[in-house]
Structure 1
């Protein structure tokens, strides 16, 4: 559309590989299987890092798969047409990725035993990371400044809508036994223990050397250099020519380098208003 988004039921989406007809079909007709593993997140939560770990859990630490097949083929995106077409013909346990808010999600997932991992991250870091990613992207409306993007983010006028609504929606699943919440912050703080927690949730076991291999090949530096994982294969099409990469800093708390005092105070106020009735221990950041 002319404003740099494809809109569906009041939610802005990327303009490449998304149509209202497709999103409607996804919600109504995609069938989840009990053996599927679904990663759900708001954009810029560390999604591709978690996907890399899941791929390495399934390969028992062997890096061959993550070094030879693009990440979007290993765990396809349900909501874009390419990912959907890849998934619907795929046999066996499928790794599936999505940024969809819960109210637009395929109804079949709620009747299945699909293992759902919901990845969360400090929304202030998501905002800053999103700003730097979208300005090198060619498939959504580009912000002219961080100040402008801050306003868009607060209002929910960014790809996949409001972080607050997205998080509140998916948190409603948190008591279900096939639903696991993982935070970017705990992954950074203690990657090994968090991976072991994910393995227990999936009913998988890694030997010590397999886990060590996973930690090595899913590290920020290795992923940054792996063209199958850093999205540089899409340079010149979805990402700007020379500079386009998914990986920027991979740290926690970077928002403090960019928010003004007034922005920090405004964000805190909005966060308290919108998330006050959820247990604060769900949000393990400062």
Structure 2
């Protein structure tokens, strides 16, 4: 397929040329957001697809028809990709749902003054690097992953496609206090409390749902439901672009899978880099799946 090996460098950040051109990236920076727009922003492999599904289901009051008949990249197209304008023009949805992996400093000016609702999705970086590594092995439009050790170092250096995870997360989340139209949701929240997450997002979007509608959203936004949904799991994409024989786009969906990949030495090195780069960041991260008994105790305590 065309441009699979091309890399576009834009403002010092690498983007896969199969999906991006200099023109599409420049247009994204100048995009005229409407106040009714919903923007999902994230670093890759942080729960983007999950949030696209959540927003779709909330917007349709829990009715799964759209999420089962229209691919997620058509329902919530990527702002910076070259086919964005075509998909947006073809859309008949009033409240447009748009997705982006761009850092805030490239998109902030376009959002300034807009009332568009922004949902920023983050995930603990240890799981991000493992998930991104496995995706690189499948995605023929991304550079060769190399060994995990090599990939791990490139991630920490911020030289992978889409730039530095550290800069991306700090840049976007530093605006949560000043932008009242920005909601920060974590992958771990979606995994541990999908019901609560859907309630939070629906409240933010001012789309009040009755109990049955929330439960329908939960049902069709579960990881297992998405993994089996061709409109979500990317199996519709040509094998030349994503080699499905090398893995599954929706792989495990587990918190703490990094422990199956990291050596102790890598973990210690990661901690030191993380501490250095995130020293001025107040975000707290969930690094592994909480103990079920501990979670039950916390639920009981909250109820009391």
- How far apart are the structure 2 equivalents of 1:224 and 1:185? 17
RMSD across aligned C-alpha pairs, in angstroms? 1.8
Shift of residue 194, structure 1, vs aligned partner: 1.4
In the aligned structure 2, how far is the partner of 1:241 from the partner of 1:188?
A: 24
Q: What is the aligned partner in structure 2 of residue 77 from structure 1?
A: 78
Give the whole-Å Cα distance in 2 for the aligned partners of 1:129 and 1:110.
32
2-structure distance, mates of 1:226, 1:126: 22
Separation of aligned partners in 2, 1:66 and 1:198 = 17
Q: What's the offset of the Cα at 1:108?
A: 2.6
Stretches of structure 2 that go unaligned for 5 or more consecutive residues are 289-304
Q: Is 1:182 paired with 2:185? A: yes
Partner-residue secondary structure (3-state), 1:105: helix
Would the alpha carbon gap of residues 86 and 277 (structure 1) be closer, same or farther in structure 2, given more than 3 Å must change? same
Structure 1 position 2, deviation (Å): 10
- Give 1:194-205 correspondences, 5 Å limit: 194-205=197-208
Shift of 1:285: 4.0
The superposition leaves residues 126-147 of structure 1 with CA deviations (integer Å, 9 ceiling, x where unpaired) of 0000000111101110212111
Structure 2 counterparts to residues 10-159 of structure 1, below 5 A: 10-28=12-30, 30-87=31-88, 90=91, 92-105=94-107, 107-159=109-161
Local SS of the residue matching 2:160? coil
Distance 1:224 1:216 in 2: 13
Q: For residue 113 of structure 1, give the secondary structure of its aligned residue in structure 2.
A: coil
Output the TM-score relative to the length of structure 2.
Answer: 0.89
- 8 Å contact 2:72–2:232 — kept in the other structure? yes
> Shift in Å at residue 284 of structure 1?
4.2
- Cα displacement string for residues 11-47 of structure 1 (whole angstroms, at most 9, x for unaligned residues): 011120211122112212x110111111000000011
1:90 Cα offset (Å) = 4.4
Distance, in Å, in 2 between the alignment partners of 1:98 and 1:22 is 12
Q: Which deviates more, 90-99 or 266-275?
A: 90-99
Q: How many residues matched?
A: 284
Distance 1:106 1:254 in 2: 33
Q: Which residue of 2 aligns with 1:265?
A: 268
SS at match of 2:236: helix
Alignment partners' CA distance in 2, 1:220 and 1:280: 25
Match of 1:207 in 2: 210
In 2, Cα distance between the equivalents of 1:259 and 1:108? 39
Contact kept? 1:137, 1:244, Cα under 8 Å: no
Structure 1, 13-22 or 118-127: larger mean CA deviation: 13-22
8 Å Cα contact 1:235/1:242 also seen in 2 = no
Residue 83 of structure 1: how far off its partner (Å): 2.1
